[in-house]
Structure 1
Amino acid sequence: MNLGILQLFKISLIFICLQHLNADVKSFDFDFIKKGQQNENTLLIIGGIQGDEPGAFMAASLIATHYDIKKGSVWVIPNLNFYSIIKRSRGPYGDMNRKFAKLSENDPDYNTVQRIKKYIKSDEVKLILNLHDGSGFYREKHLSNELSPLRWGQCSIIDQSNLDIESYGNLEEISTKVVNSINNNLIKSRDKYHVKNTKTRLGDKEMEKSLTYYAINNGKAAFANEASKELNLEERVYYHLLAIEEYMNIMGIEFHRKFNLTTSDIKNVIDHDIFISFYDEKIKLPLSKVRKLLRYFPISKDGNLEFTTSSPLMTIVKEGKEYIIHYGNRKLAKLHPDYIKFIEDERKINIFIDGVKNSIKFGDIIYAKDTFNIEPIPNLRVNVIGYVNKNKKNEVGLDITKKEIVKRFSIDQDGNIFRIEFYQGDKFAGMILLGFEK
């Protein structure tokens, strides 16, 4: 899919109905995202082949959501083994990166592997970058248990030095250029990158089963980038993005990044620039500081939960009676459902914010300094969640302040953002969020 600045990801029209996450999950398909203008010089970026490597899949996800490709073509698969990401596992059905030589049709990963093979072999794709988080810090000579030839962190991996193909066959030369570029931007000297040539053709039986080796055997330049698991998440992502940007430079792909390439900015984007919307944006939830449990959350009476997310690493899974919002390896929140019939209502709502009239649509998030007052709406009843007025069943025409709303009913852990819900009789029309600025 082609992505603009305001586009959302992963439109899930039918909720994934699973009683337990341990169930066999064949419906966790990966996302395929096209960026830029399609041409014959496409970079394919893959993250999430192993679900316990968050630096890899988070970096790929940021390319999908926070980079604009100004010239050239980039394809991104940020969540190749999405089920393993949700499970926080290297691979619930075994290591997917060892399934590219032979694989039984009965293997649960079979369809995923076959699908990614088609993208790898696409005529447009000229260079493939598979992202990983590896143990320790790779060094050509043994210095310690952490700094060793047996380690995989902080290196650019190639299967062989050269490949006889038309484009980017000088694998070692390209890998060396990427490593030098990263080493000019190290956080610590310990983080120094090296080229690691596995020389797979000389008998490395494990690497013969890998995605990159499958790619070069199909005439594609392929590399793996490893960030060390000894680093925190934002540091891993930082090094992956440095590598990705240098590969794009080498390929003549021009891009615009929507944040500064610093670990603090990366952490802010990962943790705070995230949200999920429901039912054609009738409801929108910011997730940066969302409460761990949201009670009586409106869900369509038929059980279908339609949602869009700001990240391809985000989804919702039903566990028992509750709906769990997953973001990569993290469980952000549980939704305790209030099953209710939804109605269509496109009207805008007039709300006085600190005395100033605003026209607001369902799904919006608005902020007040002191008070808000909702103008009466024909045929709609208003319920400000956490506000109690025994004399008013329809909470309109009232100047409401923050201190009048019970803090524990906020959707955020700071107690600043509250739900305003709208009903027609016993049917749900929509929700607006009201936040109080500090």
Structure 2
Amino acid sequence: MEYDLNRGMLKLYSLLFLFLLPLCLSANNNFNFNLIQKGKQDGNTLLVIGGIQGDEPGGFLSASLLTTHYEITKGSVWIVPNLNFYSIIKRSRGPYGDMNRKFAELSEQDPEYATVSRIKNYIKDDDVKLVVNLHDGSGYYRKKHVDDMHSPNRWGQCSIVDQTQIDIPMYGNLEEISTEVVKHVNNNLIISEDIYHVHNTRTKEGDKEMEKSLTYFAINQGKAAFGNEASKNLPTHKRVYYHLLALEKYMGIMGIEFKRKFTLDSNGVYKAINDDIYISLYDEKIKLPLSRIRDVIKYFPIKKDAVLDFKASNPLLTIIKKDNTYVIQYGNRRLSRLKADYQEYDDDTKSVEIQIDGKLQDVKFGSLIDVEDNFLVKENSRYRVNVIGYTNNKKKETGIEIKNKEIPERFSLDKKGTIYRVEYYTKNKFAGMVLIKFRT
């Protein structure tokens, strides 16, 4: 997996953007999109794009799962899970207008000019042969009017092509491919209302709005391009389910093979989205599991220079600084707010000894340790230890067996009351953190 990370700031093109910037910059000053390249580059690449509109989480979460939960064993897949990352964070269709209407003409003064130009270059790359742009649309597309939510004016639950075919060496039979994808999805529906249809917009026959779209730009570059729409009437994880069904069929058509780390059903997708997400900080001195993290974490050790160096398990995860609070964002969901306790940081990366259920273990900073009944932090002359939330009548918190019930639940990192912080300090500097997870 390769991340293409352009870490420059968004260009400051307007007074509005200048006003918003201090409130919304991520902790590493980066809202540029990621390009993740998976598999073996072979001149037959599938380019998957999510997040062109920030209020369509089914699309960008599907692309994100493709990066984190799929292994490409044959062929090549490029994934952009967060094309309009600022729009995703803002939970907006487009703070600077609809990005999917900026692919025909665009002023260099537009705040999104650099983003649009960059994704155009990836679309035009010689290796890219097929492009899928993921969307969530309103209602349920039907070829004939049924009611307000089921009509030709709705966009949900359809596979979109701009025209029937294009004259290119590979995958030019657009409507036939779209029909194959629709058939595959419809063989795996959750309920019958979710049925998919092919939606040919016949863009070149005079649809001036669709002429500005990403897929129409792509086919004019000689690339097979499709839109995949899931209905906004569905819960997010079910939208993701339908997007992944379609993506797996596109991969099959292209001869791309893969392994998936979860069961492709409604429950499996829900767990894949919400479990096993984390952020590690400061060269992994701290690792935060995020699936059930509390809304607010107080007195969190942040470097005094206020720079937050982090790595995320998922390209939709970021941290945004506002005053002395660091907001952990997952797509357009705010997971938690870290209230900064500014500290000098020690460069020590040594391991420490903790006794877990009577057995002594060597533990690295940033570890999460499962505990059945109790743990005991071994005395170490180098460190001062603080088990957050635990109190006793002694001056030290080492050499004492500590059980779950002896730490008030409000001090846990997670809402289930199972994960607690053990912090290590050398004199007045923060050295690292170990997390204790009591089994329930």
> TM range, normalised to the smaller chain?
over 0.9
Give, in whole Å, the separation in 2 of the partners of 1:339 and 1:13: 26
- Offset of residue 350 of structure 1: 1.1
Give, in whole Å, the separation in 2 of the partners of 1:332 and 1:67: 24
Q: Structure 1, residues 354-395: CA drift from partner, whole Å, max 9, x if none?
A: 111111100000121221111112311111000112422x32
CA RMSD of aligned residues (A): 1.9
Select the residue among 47, 50, 63 that pairs with 1:47: 50
Against the structure 1 CA distance between its residues 307 and 22, is the aligned structure 2 distance closer, same or farther, given a 3 Å change threshold? closer
Give, in whole Å, the separation in 2 of the partners of 1:218 and 1:10: 25
Match of 1:391 in 2: 394
Against the structure 1 CA distance between its residues 396 and 13, is the aligned structure 2 distance closer, same or farther, given a 3 Å change threshold? farther
Give, in whole Å, the separation in 2 of the partners of 1:403 and 1:192: 51
Match of 1:37 in 2: 40
Q: Which amino acid aligns with 2:418?
A: N
The answer to whether the Cα contact below 8 Å between 1:355 and 1:372 also exists between their aligned partners in 2 is: yes
The answer to whether the Cα contact below 8 Å between 2:385 and 2:422 also exists between their aligned partners in 1 is: yes
- Secondary structure of 1:94 counterpart: coil
- Offset of residue 320 of structure 1: 2.6
Q: Does the alignment pair 1:357 with 2:360? A: yes
Against the structure 1 CA distance between its residues 308 and 111, is the aligned structure 2 distance closer, same or farther, given a 3 Å change threshold? same
TM-score normalised by length of structure 2: 0.95
Select the residue among 408, 413, 422 that pairs with 1:406: 408
Select the residue among 57, 60, 73 that pairs with 1:57: 60
Select the residue among 418, 421, 424 that pairs with 2:420: 418
Give, in whole Å, the separation in 2 of the partners of 1:363 and 1:163: 53
Q: Structure 1, residues 406-430: CA drift from partner, whole Å, max 9, x if none?
A: 2211111111110000000110000
Report the count of equivalent residues: 429
Give, in whole Å, the separation in 2 of the partners of 1:285 and 1:145: 45
- Offset of residue 240 of structure 1: 0.1
User: More displaced, 188-197 or 397-406?
Assistant: 397-406
Q: Note the 1:204-283 alignment, pairs <5 A.
A: 204-283=207-286
The answer to whether the Cα contact below 8 Å between 1:274 and 1:286 also exists between their aligned partners in 2 is: yes
- Offset of residue 279 of structure 1: 0.6
The answer to whether the Cα contact below 8 Å between 1:69 and 1:256 also exists between their aligned partners in 2 is: yes
Give, in whole Å, the separation in 2 of the partners of 1:154 and 1:18: 36
Q: Note the 1:132-143 alignment, pairs <5 A.
A: 132-143=135-146
Unaligned runs of 5+ in 2: 10-19
Give, in whole Å, the separation in 1 of the partners of 2:294 and 2:25: 25
Give, in whole Å, the separation in 1 of the partners of 2:25 and 2:307: 21
Give, in whole Å, the separation in 1 of the partners of 2:191 and 2:276: 27
The answer to whether the Cα contact below 8 Å between 2:49 and 2:63 also exists between their aligned partners in 1 is: yes
Match of 1:433 in 2: 435
Select the residue among 129, 132, 137 that pairs with 2:132: 129
- Offset of residue 12 of structure 1: 8.2
The answer to whether the Cα contact below 8 Å between 1:382 and 1:395 also exists between their aligned partners in 2 is: yes
Match of 1:198 in 2: 201
- Offset of residue 345 of structure 1: 1.6
Unaligned runs of 5+ in 1: 4-8
Q: Does the alignment pair 1:179 with 2:219? A: no
- Offset of residue 26 of structure 1: 8.3
- Offset of residue 273 of structure 1: 1.8
- Offset of residue 319 of structure 1: 1.8
- Secondary structure of 1:169 counterpart: coil
- Secondary structure of 1:20 counterpart: helix
- Secondary structure of 1:140 counterpart: coil
Give, in whole Å, the separation in 1 of the partners of 2:418 and 2:283: 25
Give, in whole Å, the separation in 2 of the partners of 1:321 and 1:350: 33
Q: Note the 1:228-377 alignment, pairs <5 A.
A: 228-377=231-380
Q: Which amino acid aligns with 2:258?
A: F
- Offset of residue 22 of structure 1: 9.1
Q: Note the 1:47-196 alignment, pairs <5 A.
A: 47-196=50-199
Against the structure 1 CA distance between its residues 363 and 11, is the aligned structure 2 distance closer, same or farther, given a 3 Å change threshold? farther
- Secondary structure of 2:405 counterpart: helix
Give, in whole Å, the separation in 2 of the partners of 1:217 and 1:100: 11
Match of 1:2 in 2: 2
Q: Which amino acid aligns with 1:231?
A: L
- Offset of residue 10 of structure 1: 7.5
Q: Structure 1, residues 145-164: CA drift from partner, whole Å, max 9, x if none?
A: 11101111110000000100
Give, in whole Å, the separation in 2 of the partners of 1:13 and 1:180: 43
- Offset of residue 310 of structure 1: 1.1
- Secondary structure of 2:133 counterpart: strand
- Offset of residue 109 of structure 1: 0.6
Give, in whole Å, the separation in 1 of the partners of 2:121 and 2:99: 16
Give, in whole Å, the separation in 1 of the partners of 2:304 and 2:255: 51
- Secondary structure of 2:24 counterpart: coil
TM-score normalised by length of structure 1: 0.95
Give, in whole Å, the separation in 1 of the partners of 2:241 and 2:394: 56
Give, in whole Å, the separation in 2 of the partners of 1:125 and 1:13: 26
The answer to whether the Cα contact below 8 Å between 1:12 and 1:308 also exists between their aligned partners in 2 is: no
